[in-house]
Amino acid sequence: MSKTHDWSAVELRQLKYFLAVGEELSFSRAAERCYVSQSAISLQIGKLEREMGESLFERSSRSVRLTVVGTQLMSIARHMVELEQSALALTARRRNQLRLTGNMTFAANAIAAIVQVRERHPEAEIDFVLKRFAEQIEAVTSGDCQVALIRGNVERSGLEVTELWKENLVVVLADSHPLASGPDPRLEQLAQYPLLLPKRSEQILLHRVIEGAMKRSGRRLAFGPPVAMDHTASAELLNHPECWSIIYASTAESTPKTGLVFRTEAQRRLKLPVSAVVDSSIPPTDIQRDLIAALADTAPSPVPL
């Protein structure tokens, strides 16, 4: 007698993670793509396999391959995710309504841009919705939000990315660090000391920016102990004064400076774009175009260190 699958117990999140692993054929790359930890991906895939009563992947130390059942499930999973996106798109706002999504560090930019747009479009109803990075991109692709304000870039078909400004990253040192009393340090100097950051799965963007800059400079990056989720890198520097860390310029002003020194990399090689992301398949409204222009106008001035 064949097993009857309880599809009511299967979550769309599990299918999305399954699709990512099935397309990347790598749990680590799928985790980066979904902006979650590899353990979270593995946990949800394991739950999905138990609900299905079948193995979906053949795993070895060197490779990941779809099983026969996994291959069959890929098309079903794609269809179910597309159905979810279509259902969300049915709730899209009217032409004078727009939803902008971003994280809390962009709240001041979002509010300033919304005020500017409403002066030009008094009929506009613009919401600013707080979401995590992966949720922001999904909100745009599903039609739940029309614009996402992000740090970094997105390479995905169907999305249009507009760079609004470049944000410098700020180097943070304990005031007893050998580089704290001198001029702005260069990457080549920083590479001699361990970098203190949360785990890569928790701060993928910062890791990518710093690793890329170090690679281009011909230097290797060494890491100190990872910063726990309930700690801050700047505070942990007081426990590990031989290390250095990085924060966004937009958060530097509100970061306590006792015992710390803030610097900018001497050649300004530690920076990342701030971008607006929209669905390229949907014609933009005047309100959307003006909002993106207004967001670009909120580019912050360099923060004095």
Taking only the tens place, the pLDDT of each residue in 27-36 is 999 988 887 8
For 4, the token pair is: 């009857």
Quick: pLDDT tens for 233-256: 888 898 999 999 998 887 777 788
Q: Do 238 and 251 reside in the same domain of the chain?
A: yes
Same domain, 269 and 159: yes
Q: Which two tokens stand for residue 29?
A: 């790359």
How far apart are alpha carbons 213 and 190 in whole angstroms? 12
Spatial separation of the C-alpha atoms in residues 70 and 72, rounded to whole Å: 5
Q: What is the pTM of this model?
A: 0.65
The rounded distance, in Å, linking the Cα atoms of 76 and 15 is 9
257 and 276 part of one domain? yes
Give the whole-angstrom CA distance, residue 204 versus residue 33: 10
Same domain, 247 and 292: yes
Any domain includes 235: yes
Domain match, 169 and 219 both: yes
For residues 215 and 116, membership in a common domain is answered with yes
Burial class (CB in 10 A: 0-12, 13-18, 19+), 125: middle
Q: How many domains does the chain have?
A: 2
For helices 38-52 and 27-34, give the axis angle rounded to 10 degrees: 110
What is the predicted pLDDT for the residue at 257? 84
Among 89, 109, 141, identify where a domain stops: 89
Check whether residue 302 and residue 171 sit in a common domain: yes
117 plus 218 within the same structural domain? yes
Q: What are 270's two structure tokens?
A: 């530690």
Assigned domain for 205 exists:
yes
CATH code (residue 12)? 1.10.10.10
Q: Are residues 270 and 165 in the same domain?
A: yes
| Last-in-domain residue among 41, 57, 89 | 89
2 falls within a domain: no
Same-domain status, 126 and 32: no
Residues 236 and 257 in one domain: yes
Whether 34 maps to a domain, the answer reads yes
Percent of the chain beyond pLDDT 70?
92
Longest dimension (CA), the chain: 75
Asked, for residue 163, whether it belongs to a domain, the answer is: yes
Domain boundary among 28, 59, 89: 89
Q: How many residues does the chain have?
A: 305
For residue 249, being part of any structural domain is answered with yes
Q: Read off the CATH number of the domain in which 229 is found.
A: 3.40.190.290
Q: What is the per-residue pLDDT across 256-291, written as a single tens digit (0 to 9) for each?
A: 888 999 999 999 999 989 999 999 988 899 999 999
45 assigned to some structural domain: yes
Residues 80 and 101 in one domain: no
Helix (H, G, I), strand (E, B) or coil at 268: coil
pLDDT tens for residues 166-199? 988 999 999 999 999 989 999 999 999 999 998 8
* Contacts of 14 by beta carbon, 8 Å cutoff, 6+ apart: 44, 45, 47, 48, 51
Q: Residue 72 is part of which domain span?
A: 7-89
Is residue 3 pLDDT above 70, yes or no?
no
The predicted structure's pLDDT at residue 191: 94
Burial of 50 (0-12, 13-18, 19+ CB in 10 A): exposed
| Nearest residue to 278 via CA among 163, 139, 140 | 140
Between the alpha carbon of residue 35 and those of residues 32, 83, 264, the distances in Å are 5, 23, 27
Whether 290 is covered by a domain: the verdict is yes
pLDDT in tens, 58-117: 998 889 999 999 999 999 999 988 887 777 665 545 667 899 999 988 999 999 999 999
pLDDT of residue 92: 47
